[in-house]
Structure 1
Amino acid sequence: MCITKDHNGHELIEEEDFNKGKVELKPKQKNVKIEIVKSYTTDLKHIHLIAVCSDGSMWIGDNERSTLQHVELKKNITEVITSLSTKIYGIATTHSNNILIKTKGETKLELMNAMTGKITDSIYDINPLKPTCIYVTSDHRVIIGAWSGGKAFPVSGRRVVVVMDQEGKHLQEYEHDKHYNKRIFTYPRCISVTSNGNIFVVDHLDTDHRGRVVVLSPEGDILLIYNGHPGVNTKKDPFRPVGILTTQSDTTVITDMENHSLRILSDQGQIITYFNLRDMGILGPYSLALSTSGTIYIGCVSADRSPDTKKAKLYELKYSGF
């Protein structure tokens, strides 16, 4: 395994020898495809976060404008039910149809009523660490990306993934590689989990969102590290993953914002294929969520830097073959 150091000299697990032979980009198959079912125009500039409710409505968040909206999808627009002036950094729907959210500086997650928007404290507290992202598994565990605060980059302090049960009890922490005792994560940005318990962590490496996907077994072994792929990502256009979800067929989908693409990984982390969304007219893909019917929602960020622009697009995609 190749090991490099971050800005503070901490050793960080890297990809090269560890992944040898595991990340070959397979040819696109004819039965692997996605298509746009519907598109919606929002009154947000960016859609950084999506959480889908059981009735098909959703909460979408724009952190640049500190706006969180509960919306219904109407024809080609999002109709706002409730709008809150708040900035959140993580969101996940619980099995009781409430929303777990992460706000700045707090060590405890907060719980938002999905219908009313009322926010209360939750039982999930990782003090002294601070959450960076949230995921709720099918068996009700809550998985939280965390750090010890300060400046995100260069790396200092702890960078951890914490697993908690439904009652808020700490079950497990992933922080160092079991064999080399080296730091696994730089900044856990978002998380998803497959049905076999493998944990996929989008790990950001710098302030430009350059990143990778670290795949862990339930026991904490590193199964694979995906850093993007030659021919798709270059020094000029590095892999910048920002959103992740696991489909009903147990593949993992990742948005690459700057390259306007989707990466499709197997439940072990191997690349299956990728889609150039620019060819479909989808630009700035960012957040991801599954609809109640199993289609994929992609929330985009606006490329227009004008502060007055409100043009963020939400797409619903049908997929097959993965």
Structure 2
Amino acid sequence: MLTKSRISQQSYWIKSKLIDINMEESKQPKKYNLRKRQNITKSGGNKNGHTISEESSPKSKYSKKEDEYSETEMISSRKPSIELLKDWQIIYTRLHQVSTICSVDDYTMWIGSPKSNLLKVKYDLVRSSTITYIKEFEYPDVDFYDFCYDFDDDRILYSDRKNSSITAISSEYEISLFKSFRPLKPTCITISSDNYIFVGLVNKYSNDESPSRSIIKMCKDGTVCLKIDSIQEGKAIFIMPHRCIVNSVNNNIIVAAFENSKSKGKIIVFNDEGQVISMYTDDRHGVKFCPSFVTCSPVGDIICSDEKSGDILMFDSQAKLLNVIKKGDCRLYGNPYSMAWDTNDQLIIGTKSNPSSKSTGAIQLARYIQDTESK
């Protein structure tokens, strides 16, 4: 079990040692840090940020047409990429697909697949290609959509589809209710570096447009302090919020969402007040964009895995496309399905096997490269 004293002594969740950014000290971005949290006090507010009720929502400034946010061309000479550390090293799991990964420390992580189970494992991705299973929660006892790891309280928080709630698994493997959302159902969940919990909510698990869909921001006591409605100014911004992450460089909320089908997805960037900043919708001919996971690099680049194509897309912090890494170019086993950063700033990639095969999902390790053009 990780103690709080140990957590406070550990280095940042994502350090910047792989990157040399020549900036003045006052302009350096915050590091993505789940071990050392800071309470951010906004002017005119309190440490809990915005104080609005669950029923209220911020006024959207979304006024541009959706097409104006679509970007399919490379718009910068900078070209971030990833590189597998050992492209022959594949760690096979018991899961058909590794849909979520949460790194706990140098040797421990949680992995899971919604229609099978949730596992806590020990691993050494550098010296061996095996994992040791510590604890297994079998479906349907744990029927999750997504989960995240809460470093401060050493627990897993998962969106419980069966009970329409957020459920916690403690370090002693005790399961308890964190917050019920009935009649709404939770989808994605994440914890920001300043200790807020973000949850996607829908009226049902479908791709139907509905005003009863939102993304909420909660304090650790369950108090809702921000609500982002799916429909703003009469237009559906998102339908199924599938994954979310908070960019610790600028506090933007990044959401991977589906539209009227699971093969049509988008990336939406909201500011910390819930207003739309930008969007990405892939309109390349013959391409069905299916964002299975989204994360942010140490410098705030957005990285997205595509479940259908097997590609990994790299964006800047405003969701402008910088690079598309084809599945064959990085020699991934299976299609990328989930991502997480370990304590050494390396990207752990979970994959999904072919449905027609008897193979299993796997884990591979990659290095993030900020700019391949400047190498």
Which TM-score applies when normalising by structure 1? 0.84
Aligned equivalents of 1:154, 1:177: Cα separation in 2: 12
2:370 matched to which residue of 1?
321
Q: Give the CA deviation at 1:23.
A: 5.5
CA contact (8 A) 1:36 1:318 kept: yes
Query: Match for residue 207 of structure 2?
Result: 153
Which of 212, 223, 226 is the equivalent residue of 1:172? 226
Aligned length: 297
2:216 pairs with one of 153, 158, 162: 162
Q: Any idea what the Cα deviations from partners look like across 1:10-64, whole Å, max 9, x if unmatched?
A: xx99621x327x664146657x332112431222221111111135311111223
Contact 2:211-2:230 within 8 A present in 1 as well: no
Q: Which amino acid aligns with 1:216?
A: F
Where does 1:210-221 land on structure 2 (aligned, <5 Å)? 210-221=264-275
Cα distance in 2 between the residues matched to 1:242 and 1:84: 23
1:33 counterpart (73, 81, 84): 81
The structure whose residues are more often strand, as a share, is 1
- Cα distance between partner residues in 2 of 1:58 and 1:249: 24
1:113-132 correspondence to structure 2 within 5 Å: 113=170, 115-122=171-178, 124-132=179-187
Contact 1:125–1:168 (CA under 8 A) maintained in structure 2: no
Change (3 A) 1:304 1:105: closer
Measure how far apart 1:131 and its partner are: 0.8
C-alpha contact (below 8 Å) 1:57/1:73 kept by paired residues: yes
Residue matched to 2:336? 285
Structure 2: give runs of 5+ residues left out of the alignment: 1-62
2:323 counterpart of 1:295: no
Provide the TM-score with structure 2 as the length reference: 0.73
**Which of structure 1's runs of 4+ aligned residues deviate more than 4 A?**
27-30
Residue 244 of structure 1, CA deviation: 0.8
Shift of 1:279: 2.1
Q: AA paired with 1:189?
A: H
Q: Which residue of 2 aligns with 1:19?
A: 69
In structure 2, the residue matched to 1:4 is: none
Provide the rounded CA distance (Å) in 2 between the counterparts of 1:70 and 1:13. Answer: 44
- Is 1:93 equivalent to 2:153 in the alignment? no
Local SS of the residue matching 2:262: coil
Cα distance in 2 for partners of 1:28, 1:238 equals 26
Name 1:61's counterpart in structure 2: 112
Structure 2 partner of 1:82: 135
8 Å CA contact 1:56–1:291 kept in 2: the answer is no
Q: Indicate the RMSD between aligned Cα atoms, in angstroms.
A: 2.3
Q: Which has the higher relative contact order, 1 or 2, with Cα contacts under 8 A spaced 6 or more apart?
A: 2
Q: Aligned pair 1:102/2:159, yes or no? A: yes
Q: Secondary structure at the match of 2:85?
A: strand
Instruction: Tell me the distance in 2 between the aligned counterparts of 1:84 and 1:157.
Output: 34
Mapped partners of 1:258, 1:41: distance in 2: 21
In structure 2, how many angstroms separate the alpha carbons of the residues matched to 1:50 and 1:153?
Answer: 25
Percentage of pairs with the same residue: 22
